[in-house]
Chain A
Amino acid sequence: MARLLLLGPAREIAGVRNDVVEGSTLDAVLSEAVIRYGTKFQEILDVSQVWLNGEPADRDALVASYDEVAVLPPISGG
């Protein structure tokens, strides 16, 4: 289980900014998120970075309930 943070287009597609999702690895959490939010979320996930607690992380990284998984689509700041 982990806390999910969805930003920009990922937030819009999912319909939520924050959520709690089951899974013991980053990959499992993201798979559960795709089941929850649908194929359009998979499409944005494919072009997004995923950070664990503010840093890029491997998809097999272990996660716990206090961890934050952020889905970050391509950016457009400034």
Chain B
Amino acid sequence: MSVKAKTTESSPREYVEHDYMMRRMPSTPTSNWVLVTPDPLSLDALTTWATHPNCGAVVTFSGVVRDNSSARENVLALEYETSIELAEKRIHEVIDEARVRWPSVEAVAIHHRIGRVELSDATVIVAVSSPHRDTAFDAAKYCIDTLKVSVPMWKREIWEGGSAWSDDSSPILNARDQ
């Protein structure tokens, strides 16, 4: 999905009124935006959504498909599988715990792609805003690190002529224990 080009007349808020925001952002005011989707992800949309007048920091993270893993050097794509309901529930738990640890966090958005994701495309994106940068950095790191060990999600590595489940797997842990 493409993001509409920003025009010189557009305000930041107008800029984000593209398809991604309109179709997927929460329908009611909230400080959490969680999405598990087969569609391409937009870090621009998350960054703009997480920007608040009282916040001096918006930290973002984008995890992308790389061409190698611990098992092989020729990865072409990854294919993710989950239960959207279970995954989104667990991502909300990650954010809840982040808010307990860093109460000054303002907005948190975490989107995870499922299905086939091509080389260099984003598989997971995170945006955290807070009044000061240390909190945003720490909370964003906690969110992505904890997501990887607590959210039910499985990926297959795909290469020319084959595919296999990733060797880089771990038992599911609890967000509060990380």
The verdict on A5 contacting B169 (CB below 8 Å), with A75-B149, A75-B153, A78-B123 known, is: no
Residue A54 at the B interface, CB < 8 A? yes
Number of interface residues of A (CB under 8 A): 18
How many angstroms between the C-alpha atoms of A12 and B155 in the bound complex?
A: 12
Residue B102 at the A interface, CB < 8 A? no
Residue A49 at the B interface, CB < 8 A? yes
Residue A74 at the B interface, CB < 8 A? yes
Query: Would you give the shortest CB distance from B147 to chain A, in whole angstroms?
Result: 6
**0/1 per residue, B123-162, Cβ < 8 Å to A?**
1100000000000000000001001110111110000000
**0/1 per residue, B56-78, Cβ < 8 Å to A?**
00000001000000000000000
How many angstroms between the C-alpha atoms of A41 and B12 in the bound complex?
A: 52
Contact A75 B151, beta carbon cutoff 8 Å: yes
Contact A76 B165, beta carbon cutoff 8 Å: yes
B residues 96-142 with Cβ under 8 Å of A? Answer: 112, 123-124
**0/1 per residue, A25-66, Cβ < 8 Å to B?**
000000000000000000000010101001000000000000
A-B contact pairs, 11 of them (CB 8 A): A7-B81, A7-B83, A47-B171, A49-B172, A54-B89, A70-B152, A73-B154, A74-B172, A75-B149, A77-B154, A78-B153
